[in-house]
Chains A and B, each alone.
Chain A
Amino acid sequence: MDMLERYIAAVQRELPDNKRDDIGRELKANILDQIEALEAQHGSVSDAEVATLLKTMGHPRRVALQFCPPTPLVTAQLMPLYLHTLYMVLGVLFVISTIEITSRWLGGAEMSLLLFMKCIASDFLESVYFAFTAITIGFAVMSRSRKKKTAEVAGTCKWSPEKLPPASKSWQYISLQDIFTELATLLALVMLIWYPLWQPDSGAQSIFTDDTLTVLLWFTPVIVIAIVHNLWQLRTRFWSRSMLMLNIGVNTAFLIASIILLTEPVLQINDGAWRDGLGVTIAERSIQVLLVTVALIVAYEIVRDTRRLFRN
């Protein structure tokens, strides 16, 4: 019987305090009934037979889980809202990290291009730890308080079929990831162009040549339109004809700017603004490759959006 006592104790250790005694007591009574039935069949029961019986019952942890299944931190009803909040907050944090590190870089902090990327990643991760923990704890508390109130999925109580967006193809839905990545890129580009002009006393110098800077300054309104467009996408999350047309316009402007910049030196390498230690040729070639890549991506997007526009 010592084996049975140890088994019950092992199950109880896995149970919450308030249920430990009651479940242990009942489990013991049930197992004793089974042992008694075995004794009635075989006359007496050996330790090996008791061990076999307990093995059939299952590992103590498994038995405890059957009596008290684990409660998820966030309930299934709140999960869609939890994921949405998480993506939104992480997206905003990514944009903030990009702005912060870009401004530190342009403000004269010594860092190479690789270090710049690493700083964005580590700054973002640092904020993510806190945000993830805070959001998860918040939703865990909400899950506990909502548990007995309703089985409705959060945010689905008030709706009407008339207000649903039109049935459409899957591409018409805009993902949060796309919006935030583009937003961070555009904001970083604006800062790159305008920081030395905003902060003339900081000693920061533009990394671009005068001709490139002129092109980029003239190009700024297009970037601003693209940023506003992205913010609007956050609200609608749905491609409409007018949004597609605007995107084609913005991408065409990007394509033209990339082609113009491909014809002239882009970086002002000799005055020390470029500090990543790469050779001048490598840096120039990297920029050329980058511009060609940008041109190809936006050309692809123009073709894609035009086809969508005419098929829609």
Chain B
Amino acid sequence: MTTTPIDKLKLELRRGVLVLAVLASLREPHYGYSLRKQLKDAGVDIDEGTLYPLIRRLADQGLLDSEWKQGEGRERRYYQLSTLGTERLEQLTQEWTSLNSAIGPLLLRNLNEEQH
């Protein structure tokens, strides 16, 4: 369990970004484990306890379509962006880009001031 103040701040910071990362990864269909693996390979490590409930919540909100499929001898639930999810992803991407371009210089300025 994460209890230190910095862990809590990190968790808070990651919470919103994870939604963006999951939505972006689900442009292609994935089942829970394969999605987790893809995110991990991309450098975004999410534990199962966070990821699986998050996917279900996004599906409940209509942002993801899901379908049970048989593969390699057993069933898996595949998720993919819905039409609504695609729209939301575009809006969130714009928001992320705008925030990133605003916050990036702020962080760099503080870093430069510290160095001088």
Interface on A for B, CB 8 Å cutoff? 23, 25-27, 29-30, 32-34, 37, 57-58, 62-63, 66-67
Inter-chain contact count A-B, CB under 8 Å? Answer: 41
Contact mask B34-66 → A, CB, 8 Å, 1/0? 100100000000001110110010000000000
Q: Does B12 sit within 8 A of A, measured CB to CB? A: no
The answer for the CA separation of A27 and B75 in the assembled complex, in Å, is 12
Q: A57 and B56: CB pair below 8 A?
A: no
Q: Which of B14-51 contact A (CB under 8 A)?
A: 31-34, 37, 48-50
Q: B52 and A58: CB pair below 8 A?
A: no
**B88 contacts which chain A residues (CB < 8 A)?**
none
The answer for the CA separation of A27 and B52 in the assembled complex, in Å, is 8
Q: B49 and A33: CB pair below 8 A?
A: no
**A62 contacts which chain B residues (CB < 8 A)?**
49
Given contacts A34-B33, A37-B33, contact A29 B74 (CB under 8 A): yes
State the interface size on chain B (CB cutoff 8 A): 15
The 15 listed contacts between A and B (C-beta, < 8 Å) are A29-B32, A29-B75, A29-B77, A30-B48, A33-B31, A33-B32, A33-B34, A33-B76, A37-B37, A57-B48, A62-B49, A66-B49, A66-B50, A66-B52, A67-B56
Please classify the interface of chain B as helix (H, G, I), strand (E, B), loop, or mixed, using the class held by over half of its residues.
helix
Given contacts A29-B74, A29-B77, A33-B76, contact A67 B52 (CB under 8 A): yes
**A67 contacts which chain B residues (CB < 8 A)?**
52-53, 56
**B32 contacts which chain A residues (CB < 8 A)?**
26, 29-30, 33
The answer for the CA separation of A66 and B48 in the assembled complex, in Å, is 10
The answer for the CA separation of A58 and B50 in the assembled complex, in Å, is 11
Residue picked from A37, A57, A63, A66, most chain B C-beta under 10 Å: A66
The answer for the CA separation of A32 and B75 in the assembled complex, in Å, is 10
B5 to chain A, nearest CB (A): 22
**B52 contacts which chain A residues (CB < 8 A)?**
26-27, 30, 66-67
**B75 contacts which chain A residues (CB < 8 A)?**
25, 29
A311 to chain B, nearest CB (A): 40
The answer for the CA separation of A40 and B37 in the assembled complex, in Å, is 14
Q: Which residue of A lies closest to B75 (CB)?
A: A29
Q: Which residue of A lies closest to B48 (CB)?
A: A57
**B50 contacts which chain A residues (CB < 8 A)?**
66
Q: B77 and A66: CB pair below 8 A?
A: no
A22 to chain B, nearest CB (A): 9
**A26 contacts which chain B residues (CB < 8 A)?**
32, 52, 56, 77
The answer for the CA separation of A199 and B49 in the assembled complex, in Å, is 70
The answer for the CA separation of A255 and B56 in the assembled complex, in Å, is 68
